[in-house]
Amino acid sequence: MAKIAVVSADDSHLQYVAGMIAQTANHVVQRTRATPALALAQPGLTLGTDLLILDAPDFGADDIAQLRRVTSEHPETLCMLLTESPSADVLMRAMRAGVQCVLPWPPDAQEFRDELQRCTSHALGTGRGDGQVLSFISCKGGSGTTFTAANFGYVLAARHHKRVLLVDLSQQYGDAAFLVTDQTPPAALSEVCKQIERLDAALLDACVTHVCPHFDVLPAAGDPVKAGAVKAAHLERILAVARQQYDVVIFDVGQDINPASIMVLDHSNLIYAVLQLNLSYLRAGRRMRDICHSLGYHAERLRLVINRHDKHAPIDLRTMEECFGIRASHVLPHDPGPVRDAANQGVPVLQLAESSAIARALSDMARQLYPEAAPRRDSLLRKLFGQASQVPAPARA
Ligand SMILES: Nc1ncnc2c1ncn2[C@@H]1O[C@H](COP(=O)(O)OP(=O)(O)OP(=O)(O)O)[C@@H](O)[C@H]1O
Ligand SMILES: [Mg+2]
């Protein structure tokens, strides 16, 4: 996941670009409504930003001067320029100012996707030592939050070779581990919290249950008294250690919104809200949306997951999307046979029934987070300067 800053003086352009990014992959998107020159003059804009997308209708002298300063101070931040009918002159100025890619406004969807993948590949590579944090929340019991979180984690590990840790935050009846393994866990979350002072990578590794080569689980406290001992400060320390060891840390937060789970949500790159299409979820979903907004979690970080979907659903998808205020990112089918068999055997559904509808839907969901590399297309800049900018292979001695 990359951090992308989108800058435009036009609100509708900001929305359009953020929408196209969301359709391509899950990135953290920060929108700034201002002209490029003004936005680039703000000190914090490029802090930790992997890609800067500037909508600059005329890309004037002020924009260029500010951009040149920013790209020389932050060479790790790449820049994409969206501008109306870019002439050869604009392309030349853009290249001199450090822009990697220029697309005409409005960008062609496929071209935009290709360039976005190219310009974020440096951030998506491994070696950052900074695993991303995904939280799964629900507004009503039984929506399938635990099933989705646990099986999604397995898909990321088995199919995408990510190192994944699943942490079960359920206060009382944590069951995430049982869905994917029949091993007896060496320790639960509450036990790790008790030893928080001496927690390091080795201790964490000794406490987690190794489900398969890339997938570990830290089960819930499993009793309300012990669960009470799990504090926000403990989770913050666990998260700091885990992010160094894993590519992805997944929290099954469930319905419990408390200081400890708020800390986790605050640190989450993405929050998956798991709902079903019926009236009680519609009401509870509206309430959950309000809570998310009041905690400062907005559309960019939220992913609406509709679980147990079938054609007999009493309300339609559009109604739920309107109520929740965002489009559904993932629709998972009601697939009781494979889900029940997998849960009964304590085996991930992908492992037990790879070709089932639910396993395929979970694989699609994982592919949205880690899309396979798309074939490269030539951007305007490369079309114009491609030959000149190609580095010749070193001559053989
Ligand atoms: N896509 C699906 N198709 C069929 N059954 C499902 C699906 N997803 C989950 N279930 C079933 O729904 C039930 C509830 O799932 P799960 O325990 O994951 O929900 P939850 O939101 O974590 O509930 P809780 O509030 O108790 O934590 C389980 O019996 C599970 O097997
Ligand atoms: Mg649960």
**245: CB partners within 8 A, 6+ apart:** 131, 163, 165, 201, 204, 205
Gap between the Cα atoms of 235 and 239, Å rounded? 6
Number of domains the chain is built from: 2
With pLDDT > 70 as the criterion, what percentage of the chain qualifies?
91
Supply 310's token pair.
Answer: 């079938």
Mean pLDDT for the stretch of residues 334-346: 97
Pair 160, 229 in one domain? yes
Mean pLDDT for the stretch of residues 308-328: 92
pLDDT at 298: 83
Pair 54, 142 in one domain? no
pLDDT at residue 72 above 60? yes
Residue 360 inside a domain? The answer is no
**125: CB partners within 8 A, 6+ apart:** none
What does each C-alpha distance from 51 to 2, 63, 136, 219 come to in angstroms?
8, 17, 27, 37
Question: Which ligand has the shortest distance to the CA of 148?
Answer: 1
Pair 111, 196 in one domain? no
Residue 309 inside a domain? The answer is yes
Residue 240 inside a domain? The answer is yes
Gap between the Cα atoms of 63 and 60, Å rounded? 5
- For the Cβ of 146 lying below 6 angstroms from any atom of ligand 1, the answer is yes
Pair 195, 222 in one domain? yes
Residue with tokens 């974020």: 120
Pair 44, 145 in one domain? no
Pair 106, 139 in one domain? no
Pair 302, 168 in one domain? yes
What single-letter amino acid sits at 269?
N
What single-letter amino acid sits at 188?
A
Query: Per-residue pLDDT tens for 93-145?
Result: 888 888 888 999 999 999 999 889 888 876 665 444 568 999 999 989 899 99
pLDDT at 293: 86
Query: Per-residue pLDDT tens for 140-163?
Result: 989 999 999 999 999 999 999 899
Residue 212: domain span: 132-354
Task: Give the nearest ligand 1 atom to 148 CA.
Answer: 18
Left (φ > 0), alpha (ψ -120 to 50) or beta: where does 373 sit?
A: beta
- For the Cβ of 174 lying below 6 angstroms from any atom of ligand 1, the answer is no
Residue 172 inside a domain? The answer is yes
Query: Per-residue pLDDT tens for 16-25?
Result: 999 999 888 7
Q: Model pTM?
A: 0.68
Residue 49 inside a domain? The answer is yes
Pair 117, 160 in one domain? no
Gap between the Cα atoms of 351 and 172, Å rounded? 28
- For the Cβ of 356 lying below 6 angstroms from any atom of ligand 1, the answer is no
pLDDT at residue 392 above 50? no
Q: Could you tell me the distance, in angstroms and rounded to a whole number, from the CA of residue 254 to the centre of ligand 2?
A: 6
Q: Could you tell me the distance, in angstroms and rounded to a whole number, from the CA of residue 171 to the centre of ligand 2?
A: 10
Q: At what angle do helices 317-324 and 279-294 cross, to 10 degrees?
A: 30
CB 228 within 8 A of CB 176: no
Residue 394 inside a domain? The answer is no
Q: How many CB atoms are closer than 10 A to CB 60?
A: 13
Pair 136, 109 in one domain? no
β-sheet with 101-104: strand ranges across: 28-33, 3-8, 51-55, 78-83, 101-104
Which of 21-25, 231-235, 236-240, 251-255 has the weakest average pLDDT? 21-25
Q: Could you tell me the distance, in angstroms and rounded to a whole number, from the CA of residue 130 to the centre of ligand 2?
A: 27
Pair 246, 189 in one domain? yes
pLDDT at 129: 52
Residue 382 inside a domain? The answer is yes
Q: How confident is the model at residue 396 (pLDDT cuts 50, 70, 90)?
A: very low
Gap between the Cα atoms of 176 and 170, Å rounded? 9
What single-letter amino acid sits at 131?
G
Return the residue whose CA atom lies nearest to atom 12 of ligand 1: 144
Pair 53, 181 in one domain? no
Task: Give the largest CA-CA distance in the chain.
Answer: 74
Query: Per-residue pLDDT tens for 353-381?
Result: 999 999 999 999 999 999 864 445 556 66
pLDDT at 155: 97
Q: Could you tell me the distance, in angstroms and rounded to a whole number, from the CA of residue 52 to the centre of ligand 1?
A: 40
pLDDT at 393: 34
